[in-house]
Amino acid sequence: LIQGASSPQELLQVSRGPALSSNLAALAIARLARLTSEQRLDTESIRRDPRFQQLLDTVDAQISQVWNTPLVQLLRSLPALGLAQGGRQVRSVEQEVLWRLRRLPLRQLAHLAEYLAGHGRDGPLLPEVLRKLELRWTELDGTRTVVTLMAKVGHLSPTLMERLEDKALELAEQFDPEEIRRVALALALQQRRSVPLLRALSYHLLQKPAELPLPVLTDLLFAYSKLSFQQPQVLHRLSLELQPHVGALSPAQVSRCARSFASLRWLSRPLAEAIAQYSLDNTQNLSLTQLCGILVSFAHLNFQPSSSEEFFSMIHEQLEGQEQQLDVHLLTDVMWSLCVLQQARPPNLRQVLSPDFHARLRGDTSPRAQSSWLKLLHINATARLETPGYQGPFLPPEALSRDGDRHRDKDKATPLQRGLWEALPGALGGHDLARYDVSTVYGWDIDAEVVLDSDNKPLPVRDFAAPHLSHSEGTKPLPPGAKRVAVLRWEFPQFSSRGRELLGRGALAQRHLRAAGFLLVEVSQE
* pLDDT per position as a tens digit, 219-234: 999 999 999 999 999 9
Q: Report the candidate in 226, 225, 214 with the shortest Cα–Cα distance to residue 189.
A: 226
Pairing mode, strands 458-459 and 483-490: unpaired
One-letter identity of residue 458:
P
From CA 49, how far away is CA 171, in angstroms rounded? 49
What's the rounded Cα separation, in Å, for the pair 28 and 56? 10
Q: What is the pLDDT of residue 290?
A: 96
488 forms beta bridges with 522
> At 515, which amino acid appears?
A
Q: Which residues of the chain have pLDDT under 70?
A: 1-6, 17-19, 120-122, 402-411, 526
pLDDT given for residue 136 in this prediction: 92
What does the pLDDT look like over 300-342, one tens digit per residue? 999 999 999 999 999 999 999 888 889 999 999 999 999 999 9
Inter-residue contact 303 to 275 (CB < 8 Å): no
Let me know how many helices (H) and strands (E) the chain has, helices first.
25, 5
- What is the Cα–Cα distance from 78 to 433, expressed in whole angstroms? 82
pLDDT for 313: 96
Q: Looking at residue 475, what is its pLDDT?
A: 85
pLDDT of residue 41: 79
Contact predicate 92/71, CB 8 Å: no
* Bridge partner list, 206: none
Q: Where are the beta strands (DSSP E) in 170-280?
A: none
Whether the model pTM is above 0.85: yes
Q: Which of 403, 395, 326, 405 lies closest to 358, judged by CA?
A: 395
Q: What percent of the chain has pLDDT over 70?
A: 95
CB of 340 within 8 A of CB of 503?
no
Backbone angles phi, psi at 21, to 5 degrees: -120, 170
Residue 5 has a pLDDT of 64
Max CA-CA distance within the chain?
A: 113
